[in-house]
Amino acid sequence: MLNKKSIEDLNVKGKKVLVRCDFNVPLADGKITDENRIVAAMPTIQALVKAGARVILCSHMGKPKGEPKSELSLAPVAVRLAEKLGQPVLFVKNDAVVGENVTKAVAEMKDGEIILLENTRYRKEETKNEDNFSKELAELADIFVNDAFGSSHRAHCSTVGVTKFVKESAVGYLMQKEIEFLGNAVNHPERPFVAILGGSKVSDKINVIKNLLDKVDTLIIGGGMAYTFAVAKGGKVGNSLLEEDKVEYARQMMEDAKAKGVKFLIPVDTVITQEFKNDTAFKTVSTLEIPDGWQGLDIGEESRKIFTDAIQGAKTVIWNGPMGVFEFENFAGGTRAVAEALANIDAVTIIGGGDSAAAVNQMGFGDKMTHVSTGGGASLEFLEGKELPGVAAVEDKE
């Protein structure tokens, strides 16, 4: 269990509560294209409103690199959040995030009201965790609640620094839920425990593989990262993604898995093309025999069957990273097969944020999973066994 102060431990009636949310939602032409993170933030906001708090919300959005960028304003989030909550959310625009108009708006708040501040990354101090901005944020409130799981792996002013200057801090419901699901799955899994890793780079997931090898019964590797393992097995991978400097590491990992009695699966077959695009000729070959000039963009039918069989018997599954270039419909089949297998088993199924969460939601399997994480980078760092600074900074339970 998470030994941090939570919403239940707070007395918020009439108090100003600054809540760090993760409203870093994808936008296209100023419109929110995926509102999952807004929906996920609602339980904490609603509980605070109900308890009579004056709720001041903050978040980052994208990477404005320390200066105001109107296309990364949180204004559209205030509108969507108000619609979802069925109550006004006052967006207090200030390019410095805090300032005279913000102080005035906060002073005029009544119990149960909500305001949203501008993108915290408009300030250059934010990502450097500099005290002046942390202090300015803290001065707005009596209590700080961190509910931004997706940003909890970053030590920034609004996730970590601010806790130094507020009287009281706690984690929100989303943060609790994320850590409970991910933590239970990794540390107390019902067995067999299967982890599936995919995506483009081995180097991003080295520490995840290392950590999980001590915990899982089966490790499945797909996506672009599989070809480095194929080369380590003596295969030829043509123009597929390959990290030459990680081949030795991949070989070592497969040896370690053997020594630990962990089943280690890489794709036996691969869908290959000569061009990196959707509308192009493709065929399926052995993963170890990809001809020059061709590249693997998805796992083949035989691999889908082997992976699905391994998933079938599992009681706990964690999945991070797509099996292929799922953004191209012709190469989304492997990712879809894995998503479908997870949707249909009677097991704890955890999707670790980022592209695999996007794929699962996009393919319509999101609500069939036990938990779809809102944090890509944060869930990866959690799976590495690292302590998340945004969580560590919150007060312990008394």
| C-beta atoms surrounding 343 within 10 Å | 16
Give the binding range for ligand AMP (CB under 6 A) out of 2-10, 40-48, 140-148, 193-201.
193-201
Q: In the complex, what is the shortest distance from the CB of residue 371 to ligand AMP, in angstroms, rounded to a whole number?
A: 18
Indicate the residue among 161 and 324 with the shorter CB distance to ligand AMP: 324
Indicate the residue among 15 and 154 with the shorter CB distance to ligand AMP: 154
Question: Binding of ligand AMP at residue 235 (CB under 6 A)?
Answer: no
Residues 47-86 vs ligand AMP: string with x where CB under 6 A?
----------------------------------------
Indicate the residue among 161 and 199 with the shorter CB distance to ligand AMP: 199
Q: In the complex, what is the shortest distance from the CB of residue 220 to ligand AMP, in angstroms, rounded to a whole number?
A: 14
Question: Binding of ligand AMP at residue 239 (CB under 6 A)?
Answer: no
Which residues sit opposite 396 in a β-bridge? 4
Q: In the complex, what is the shortest distance from the CB of residue 312 to ligand AMP, in angstroms, rounded to a whole number?
A: 23
Give the binding range for ligand AMP (CB under 6 A) out of 3-11, 82-90, 139-147, 196-204.
196-204
List strand residue ranges (DSSP E) for the chain, in order: 16-20, 27-28, 31-32, 54-58, 90-92, 114-117, 143-146, 168-171, 193-197, 218-221, 236-237, 263-265, 269-273, 282-286, 289-290, 295-299, 316-320, 348-351, 371-372
Which residue's Cβ lies closest to ligand AMP? 199
DSSP 207-248: HHHHHHHTT-SEEEE-STTHHHHHHHTT-EETTS---GGGHH
Q: How many whole angstroms separate alpha carbon 134 and alpha carbon 15?
A: 19
Q: In the complex, what is the shortest distance from the CB of residue 202 to ligand AMP, in angstroms, rounded to a whole number?
A: 9
Question: Binding of ligand AMP at residue 300 (CB under 6 A)?
Answer: no
Indicate the residue among 200 and 344 with the shorter CB distance to ligand AMP: 200
Indicate the residue among 143 and 290 with the shorter CB distance to ligand AMP: 290
* Token pair of 254 as six digits: 């497969």
**Cα torsion angle, 282, 283, 284, 287, sign:** negative
Q: In the complex, what is the shortest distance from the CB of residue 274 to ligand AMP, in angstroms, rounded to a whole number?
A: 13
Residues carrying an active site annotation: 37, 201, 354, 377
What are φ and ψ of residue 11, in 5° steps? Answer: -110, 100
- Classify strands 193-197 and 316-320 as parallel, antiparallel or unpaired: parallel
DSSP 320-374: ES-SS-TTSGGG-HHHHHHHHHHHTSSSEEEE-SHHHHHHHHHTT-GGGSSEE-S
Among 161, 235, 267, 324, binds ligand AMP (CB under 6 A): 324
Applying CB under 6 A, the residues found at the interface with ligand AMP are 199-201, 204, 223-224, 241, 296-297, 321-322, 324-325, 327, 354-355
